Structure 1
Amino acid sequence: MPIVYKCRHCGQEIGRLEQQVVDESMLGLDQLSAEDKRDMISYEANGDVRIKAICENCEASLGSHPHYHELDYFIQ
């Protein structure tokens, strides 16, 4: 069951872990609130676990343009 990290803004795959068993505490997911888990983690039909994160490029754009935080998506 791969764990796939994708950027929530541009959709770029940030990383992938090939794990048979997911330990939430090893990934730090146990630190998230229930609402954040619903927003950030999805379970795909093919068995993948997809985690929404932010890639370095989008993080830099957000740092340079703080008003982008107001938008759900700033990349068109």
Structure 2
Amino acid sequence: MSIVYMCRHCGQEIGQLKQQRVDTSMLGLDQLTAKEKEEMVTYKPNGDVQIKAICENCEDALGHHPHYHELDFFIQ
């Protein structure tokens, strides 16, 4: 089982944790609302957990272009 962090904007893999067991509270997932979990966390058939986050490049782009926050996707 792996926990894979993917950028929600560009789709780049940010990082991956390979664990047999994971305490979701250690990842902070227990701090998310039900809606946030639905939007950010995906459970794959192979047992992997995919978490949508933001990579450094997209975070930098959002910092330089704040109006991008209004868009669901700003990278085409």
TM-score (norm 2): 0.96
User: Unaligned stretches of 5+ in structure 1?
Assistant: none
Report 1:1-76 matches (<5 A): 1-76=1-76
Once superposed, which parts of structure 1, at least 4 consecutive aligned residues long, lie more than 2 Å away? none
Backbone CA RMSD of aligned residues: 0.6
Equivalent residues, number: 76
Deviation string 1:15-66 (CA, Å, 9 cap, x unpaired) is 0000111211110111111110000000112221000000000000001000
> Identity, % of aligned pairs?
74
User: Unaligned stretches of 5+ in structure 2?
Assistant: none
Kindly indicate which of the two structures has a greater share of residues assigned to helix.
Answer: 1
Amino acid across the alignment from 2:28: G
